[in-house]
Structures are given as structure tokens and as C-alpha cells.
Amino acid sequence: MTQAHQGYSGSSAAAGGGAAAGAGGGLNVLGRPFQHISEQFILSTEEIGRGRSGSVTMCVHRTSNERLACKTIPKGSLQSEEGAGDVRREVEILESMRGHPCSVQLLAAFEDEEFVHLVMDLCQGGDLWQRVQQGGAYGEGEAAAVVRRLVGLLRDLHAQGIMHRDVKPENVLLRREDDDADIAIIDYGVSVFFNPGETFSEIVGSPFYISPEVLHESYGPESDIWAAGVILFVLLSGALPFWGDSDEGVFRAILERSVEEEVEREGVWESVSEEAKDLVLRMLTRDAALRISADEILEHPWLQDNN
């Protein structure tokens, strides 16, 4: 984060208690006076990404000329207090991850009569899925570096009582084009706060990365570890462990297909170390109670050997 970030007057993004009527009589999501983003930033019309709740474009700070990313959420799409609460929760989670090296950084938040704008640092290396599609499977050293950072972030999220719930390669951005392991996790749009032992039943996430317990509608933070295990599988092999012709087919594969058989197939897995395979299998253990924890992953011999 550069020094220019410190001066953004919209950067105090902590939300108020609930939605209220704004100065224009419309929904007030962030619970503070409306402020137009155009006072400080020039917004591009070219979309560089899209999340569940809005589009992402580039923006330029009028004084520093710094290029940043802006997630724009149309308030008309929120429909209800629940939708507004989802945005407030996303902002609160982003605030809680301020300064974390492996999370995208929220630098300012603006709200006017029509939109909520979240200004964040700009990652210029694309996402992890694009990188694998273009460059193929990662070597074990680079894969270990990515997983170490990803799981380190998940450990820190879980320690604060936050579950991401949409961990996938498309939500892992590369900060620079010349570094395949310098990552930033994005899109906390479906993330939730949880208490120890609390379980959730809402099925959210992206089909290829959903854990068995999410499909069984009783899950906790262990589901994030499963999704990270799918990412590790993708990094090492360049392919997904579970697939099907439809979402239902993918879900059936998640519940039934043998991961052990996949990692013993001839081909790309022949060159993968036994230690790496062991970590994949432990992260993709179907029983969440037996699945390896974030702390155990970070102490796993494969990560230690590739440190």
C-alpha cells in the first residue's frame, strides 16, 4: 500500500448499524452521509472483473494519479435490508483484514443515491485460474508458496471468526505479472462471521469447490480448507478433481469420486512428490472432522521442505 492511500477521505469505511434513509431519501447502506466517488476518483467504463454483487473497473485518483480497482454495487440490486446487510458485512470483513499481505485491501468506500463504490488496490497479474490455463500446472515450489499464503490467510480469517465460503482460483489474484505466487484473496461477498462450533446450512460457493458438508447443508470453516485443497489439486495437475456435465453431476462427483484414484493416475501426477499428494488427500478428506486443519497444513512436511 502506498502513502497516497493514507489520504483518501473516503477510507473510513466502517459501516453503521443498519440501513437508513440517505440525504436523497434513498437506501443508505453504509450508514453515513452520501459522498460521490467522482470527487476523488475518475472511474473507467471498462470492466476488469465481476463479483457476485457488482462489477469491478479501474479508477484513478485525481491527485496522485494512482491506479486502483473499484467494485461498484448498484443499490437497486440489493432489494432489501438483507442485501444491504451483506454489503455492510463485506465492508466490515475487508476492514478486519486491513494490512494483511494476502488479502485485497479496502482503501476507501463511497456511497451515493445509486451506488456503493469500494476502492481497493489493483492486482495486475490476473487470477490463478487464468495463470493455470495459460501456463499449465505449477511446479511444487511455486504451488507450495501459493498454498502457504492462501492457507495462512484462511487461518487468520478463521481466527477472527470469519468464513470466506467462496475460495476458488478466480478469487485468488496475482499482484504482479512477474510473480506467480504473490497473491491477494478477493470477494468477501458471501463471507460470514461464525462462532466456534456453529454450523451453516445455506449452500453457497462455486460448484467445483464446494465441500461435501456444504452439500449436506451442515458446515463450518473446514469447508474453506476443502476448497483450498481443490486449488492445490489444480495447481499441481492443471485439472479439476471433480467435474460433470451439470452442477448436479459435479456434486455427485464430489460426494462419490475417489480422489485417491485421481492422484495415482499415470501422467502429470507421476512427477508429483508423495508428500504433495499426501497433503492433497488430507485437505480433500470428505469427513470434515478428520480433515487437516490450517495450522497442520502450515506444518506439513511438504510445505516445510518447499519453504
Q: Which candidate in 86, 121, 127, 166 is catalytic?
A: 166
Note the residue count of the chain.
Answer: 307
- Three cell numbers written together for 49: 472483473
Instruction: Give catalytic status of residue 182 as yes or no.
Output: no
Active site residues: 166
